[in-house]
Amino acid sequence: MFHLAFYAPCIPGNTGNAIRTAAATGAHLHLIEPLGFDLSDAKLRRAGLDYHDLASVTVHPDLDTAFDSWPGARVFAFTTKATQIYSDVEYRDTDVLMFGPEPTGLPDEVLEDSRITAQLRIPMLAGRRSLNLSNAASIAVYEAWRQHGFEQGAR
């Protein structure tokens, strides 16, 4: 299934919501340190509800370690700076959908990393800064999963 990566997330509630998304879709959630919170944070636990045991989550100490865990995978960096729209990609089930921290997004050194396959954006009305991190991640994961016919979906 797809990989969802949060690089240096700052808001525990958004990561908790991503845990729920991972549990609901079968995506593997990768959290890349530094984290702006402790994994035992009450807001993270509350947002994730009882889905923590149903989600596949890996914490990586740094970006290089995360990339090492995705050999041969395409890594798509989501950013408001991109010109290519996320729905124009034909996703593979091994793809990594990477998002940056709130509120700044992925830093330039990550966006310019040669291991990034492409930069993608989710369209918004003009004058809007960005979507909520967990909402944007859900949009991307569900588009990738939709393209695969919601494989293994029970509903």
3-state class percentages of the chain: helix first, strand second, coil last, to nearest 5: 35, 20, 45
CA 17 from centre of chain? 11
pTM of the model: 0.92
Longest alpha-carbon distance in the chain: 40
- Quickly count: other Cβ atoms within 10 Å of residue 20's Cβ: 20
Fold of 3-147: Alpha/beta knot (3.40.1280)
- Quickly count: other Cβ atoms within 10 Å of residue 109's Cβ: 8
Quick one: three-class SS letters along 27-38? Answer: CEEEEECCCCCC
List the pLDDT tens digit at each of the 155 positions of the chain.
Answer: 899 999 999 998 899 899 999 999 999 999 999 998 887 767 666 554 566 678 899 999 999 999 999 999 999 999 999 999 999 999 999 999 999 998 899 999 999 999 999 999 999 999 988 899 999 999 999 999 999 999 776 55
DSSP-based three-state secondary structure for 52? helix
Element (H, E) at 147: helix 133-147
Domain boundaries, the chain: 3-147
